[in-house]
Amino acid sequence: MEAKLFESQSVDPGRVPGSGSSARVKKQGDSATKLAINPAFLQEIKDCNPTLWKSVDSLHAIAHGSASASTTIRGLVDRLNEVRDLLALQFALEETYGYIEVPKSLASGSLHELEDIRSQHCSLYLCVSELAEQAEELQYRGVASDQLHHLMRRTQQFEMRLREHERVEDDLIEQA
């Protein structure tokens, strides 16, 4: 089966992956390179991390639950920290093996969204890190009902963004 590669904006190999910074064309001899996905590796990376999705499902249950404030904040602290750590590994693997530079002549399609999808890794990781810090601060200072409900809403929004990001990556894999 022939792998289909998706074209995106040119990428600077010296920039931080997922940073969303503007990119410039990298020259290899006479040809430029383009960002593409390696669908087989990207799918394999996703399939090999069921712990991440169990943690996200657990986070969902906590963020939508009606347990006591102390139980909820303890659960949020534990799950947000776990999801943050698992996402760090997941995104590092995806960016190293699932998103690749290929010669422009091998890239097909015109998916300018590919760089945006990859850059979401950074914003999602920063979001879950901030939520984990806020949960720890609430646990340390004491839980105020309105602050806990705000944190739960933000956690729900993060989860929706993460699931949408994964849906888009799954669509890219299917199109390959």
For residue range 78-129, list pLDDT tens digits in order: 999 999 999 999 999 999 999 988 887 776 654 577 889 999 999 999 999 9
pLDDT at 34 over 70: yes
pLDDT band, very low/low/confident/very high, at 70 (cuts 50, 70, 90): very high
pTM over 0.75: yes
| Beta strand extents in the chain (DSSP E only) | 27-28, 31-37, 99-103
Tokens standing for residue 147: 């602050």
CB contact at 8 A, 108 and 34: no
Measured distance CA(65)–CA(42) in Å, rounded: 33
| Secondary structure class of 6 (helix, strand, coil) | strand
- Which residues have CB under 8 Å from 133's CB, separation 6+? none
Residues found in the chain: 176
The whole-number average pLDDT for the span 146-152 is 95
Tokens standing for residue 94: 């995806």
